[in-house]
Amino acid sequence: MSLPRLLFAHANGFTGASYKSFLAPLDSRFDLHPLDRLGHDPAHPVSDNWPALRDELVAHLRSFDTPVIGVGHSMGGVLMLMAAEIVPESLRCVVMLDSPLMVGLDALALRTAKRLKIVDRVTPAGRSKGRRQAWPNRDAMGHYLRQRGLFKPFTEAALQDYIEGGTRFRDDGSVELLFDPAVEVEIFRSLPDRLHGIARRIETPLALIAGDRSDLLTPARRRRLMRHGIHVVTTPGSHMFPMEHPDEARTTLLITIDSLLEKHRS
């Protein structure tokens, strides 16, 4: 009997291979398909509210002959939700991991920031501008990242996954990021602000797992999302909980998937 297929969509600035420690143990339960780098296909350029990025994911979903379990971290979860509205027949369920679903007042504030051209102040775009993208070697990269706030809580294995799965070697032996920082900035700047009501329009079973210390999905935002019809559960960690607490995150994900698949069967 074949294993159920799971398609995983990564966060902005990361590659699918960056999640090896989190995803690899799931291969006993699922036929895993982590996506490489959304946003880098010239046929699907980044634009406001991510329609082309959604279509890039839809193309991946349509390449399978049976419905898949869709899981996405941050950006990847938003895109999986958006894709579920287009190709519900391609998804058995959707699980979003600490995804920035801007609804209600958050959506209004984001639209206003875009209109006033101050979106870099209210999204991570401002911090991503000028991001370092090359190092003499991977050891130097690891030492540099360990001093950065985002990466400090990563397990050692998760940090190595990011270094090995998110870089390529240059001819001179130095390493550079695979995920273009300029693309990363544009993705943040064009964060969707038109998601109002989407969860109620979608028949695909869906849930969101939030880090209990997430500075993105704060308790107030989690309550707002639940009022908009999204089932929310928490797990230990910040926005980057799959890299900080991979075992606990994996357990929460499995429980959530099993619950959603039961709904799908019923």
209 SS3 class: strand
CB atoms within 10 A of CB 47: 11
What is the sign of the dihedral through the CA atoms of 205, 79, 208 and 249? positive
174-196 pLDDT per residue, tens: 999 999 999 999 999 999 999 98
Q: Determine the average pLDDT of the residues in 80-93.
A: 97
Q: In DSSP terms, which residues pair with 9 in a beta bridge?
A: 72
DSSP secondary structure string, 170-239? -TTS-EEESS-HHHHHHHHHT-----TTHHHH--S-EEEEEETT-SSS-HHHHHHHHHTT-EEEEESSST
For position 127, what pLDDT does the model report? 76
Look at residue 102 and tell me whether its pLDDT is greater than 70: yes
What is the sign of the dihedral through the CA atoms of 3, 35, 207 and 22? positive
Query: Residue written as tokens 């996954």?
Result: 161
Tell me what percent of the residues of the chain surpass a pLDDT of 90: 90
pLDDT-derived band at 265 (thresholds 50, 70, 90) equals: low
CB contact at 8 A, 181 and 131: yes
pTM here is 0.96
Query: Are β-strands 175-177 and 167-169 bridged in parallel, bridged antiparallel, or unpaired?
Result: antiparallel
For position 131, what pLDDT does the model report? 82
CB contact at 8 A, 175 and 134: yes
For position 263, what pLDDT does the model report? 74
Please choose, from the candidates 34, 53, 31, the residue with its C-alpha nearest in 3D space to the C-alpha of residue 242: 34
pLDDT-derived band at 37 (thresholds 50, 70, 90) equals: very high
pLDDT-derived band at 149 (thresholds 50, 70, 90) equals: confident
Q: Which of 122-131, 215-224, 228-237 shows the lowest mean pLDDT across its residues?
A: 122-131
Measured CA to CA, the distance from residue 115 to residue 117 in angstroms comes to 5
For position 264, what pLDDT does the model report? 62
Please choose, from the candidates 258, 217, 248, the residue with its C-alpha nearest in 3D space to the C-alpha of residue 77: 217
Q: Determine the average pLDDT of the residues in 141-169.
A: 95
CB contact at 8 A, 176 and 133: yes
Q: Determine the average pLDDT of the residues in 71-77.
A: 98
Measured CA to CA, the distance from residue 166 to residue 162 in angstroms comes to 5
CB contact at 8 A, 80 and 54: no
* Per-residue CA distances from 91 to 29, 44, 64, 95 (Å): 17, 21, 10, 11
Residue length, the chain? 266
Higher-confidence residue of 22 and 127: namely 22
Measured CA to CA, the distance from residue 71 to residue 34 in angstroms comes to 9
List % helix, strand, coil for the chain (3-state, nearest 5). 45, 15, 40
In this structure, the dihedral spanned by the alpha carbons of residues 195, 118, 97 and 3, taken in order and rounded to 10 degrees, is 70
Q: Which of 27-31, 47-51, 123-127 shows the lowest mean pLDDT across its residues?
A: 123-127
Which region, left, alpha or beta, applies to residue 165 given φ > 0 means left and ψ of -120 to 50 means alpha? alpha
Domains for the chain: give ranges and CATH numbers: 5-128+186-265 (3.40.50.1820)
Query: Residue written as tokens 């209109």?
Result: 115
Look at residue 72 and tell me whether its pLDDT is greater than 80: yes
Measured CA to CA, the distance from residue 79 to residue 91 in angstroms comes to 13
For position 266, what pLDDT does the model report? 55
CB contact at 8 A, 260 and 220: no
